[in-house]
Amino acid sequence: MKKYLYAGLLACTIASCTDDFLKEEMVSTITQDYFNTEQGLDQLIVGTYNAERVKWGYSEGVYMFETGHDCARKSGDTDLNMYSTSKWSSTGDIGKQTDQFMGFQSKSSAGFLINFFPIIDNCNKAINIIRNNEGKGQYASNKEYAAQRLSEVLFNRAYSYYNLNTILGDIYFSTTSSITLPSNYVYTRTPAEEMYKVLISDLRYAVENLPENYSSGEFGRATKYAAAHLLSKIYLHREQGKEYGTVEYGRNADGSIDNSNPKSYLGMLYKGKGTADLDSCIYYASMVIDKHPLAYDYADLFDHSLDDFSCENTSENVLNAVFSEGGDNYRYGLRVLMMFVGNYVGEKWGLPDYCWEYGTKPNFNFHNSDFGFDVFTDKINDSRFQKSFRLEYVTGLNTSGSSTPGANGEYYT
């Protein structure tokens, strides 16, 4: 046995000295060079479309975009069936619940930063590869293809930065991607005026190079009119805040914000000043309106039966964040459907569960305030009121599985 053991050890020793034993072949790891290939760059650009999905897949989006404005607010544990603001107080239950999700110190703003900046970094990576002529395949041989794909990712980066700046004010603004850890994590906020100049230039390029539409297999990609829509909003914001770029409103000479100034909330609205911003807004907005008329029936926008996504193709829709058949439905899918609905669940009404395919969810409900209902001043003749709210419920007993709708019916029947 010792002879065999010694022979085996000798064989292992000899084998370990050969070149083949030390040779590594990476067969399942994607390197940075992969993104220079046509397939890799295409996949990287598709991944940047998470920019449009951030605010629907997680709770941060709806909290930051909706909670606390005049029409809606977050429901509290002691306020499940309350549809009136008469209970409001700055220190009461509703106040505490709203503060939890409205404050910029909260999880909501952190969620936006955490979710948007990786997308922005991927956008920067794709933009730099295309602009530096490092892309292969059609990116090298077809200038029109490269310009279109560049325009898509310029749009997604602009959309990400636009949302962050609108919600949080001046933010860190970068046009390069990160491939190593930084020497430190001190990021300087960039004045909105500098950022807006870049976004306007990028979106003007996108409008010129994006197609008017795509084939059905590429549904959800940014079009010429999506870029024009965002560009018109950016021009409008710059026009609206053009008077607030002075020390009076907390804007320092170097463009930074003096938060100790009580008027700095207005200074935060300053995005620079153009020579014809309002005219530019009208020009690009008209471009969108001409190609995307309002839906004939307001209800068509929300007519979504299980597995029926035809409402996404109404003329009024300019761009969709895709959560539909054949697509990756994100971690939670289209979670927004559990946000904008009152807490109608109750055994006493014959409604033991929610009436959608996703099943029982935690208390993420937003309640409309009285003002939210009363925005529709003519509830008799303005059909949008009845088409905006679910006014009557019947039972939705789902006993056959989470993806199969239960039969609706009157409770006592």
Q: Which helix (H) or strand (E) holds 6?
A: helix 2-16
Cβ–Cβ < 8 Å for 252, 180: no
Mean pLDDT, consecutive 10-residue stretches, the chain (413 aa), reads: 55 52 65 91 94 76 65 50 42 45 50 86 97 96 97 98 91 91 87 97 98 88 97 97 96 93 95 96 97 91 76 90 63 63 60 56 61 83 81 56 53 50
Structure tokens at 401: 């599985």
Give CA–CA dist 156/240, Å, rounded: 23
Give me the helix-helix angle, 277-291 and 224-240, nearest 10°: 150
Give CA–CA dist 59/249, Å, rounded: 33
- What is the reported pTM? 0.79
For 72, the 3-state DSSP assignment is strand
Structure tokens at 54: 């951030």
State how beta strands 408-409 and 395-396 pair: antiparallel
For 251, the 3-state DSSP assignment is strand
Which amino acid is present at 259?
N
pLDDT of residue 112: 76
For 346, the 3-state DSSP assignment is strand
Which amino acid is present at 99?
D
Give CA–CA dist 350/365, Å, rounded: 19
Structure tokens at 355: 């009436």
Q: Report which of 368, 180, 173 is spatially closest to residue 256, judged by C-alpha positions.
A: 173
DSSP string, 147-183: HHHHHHHHHHHHHHHHHHHHHHSSB---SS--SS--S
DSSP tag of 407: P
Cβ–Cβ < 8 Å for 55, 335: no
Which amino acid is present at 201?
S
Backbone angles phi, psi at 370, to 5 degrees: -60, -40
Give me the helix-helix angle, 107-131 and 143-168, nearest 10°: 160
pLDDT of residue 216: 78
Give CA–CA dist 198/288, Å, rounded: 22
Q: For tokens 């899918």, what's the residue? A: 333
Q: Report which of 213, 216, 214, 401 is spatially closest to residue 327, judged by C-alpha positions.
A: 216
Here the contacts of 298-307 (C-beta below 8 Å, separation 24 or greater) are 298/383, 298/384, 298/387, 298/388, 299/387, 302/387, 302/388, 306/357, 306/403, 306/405
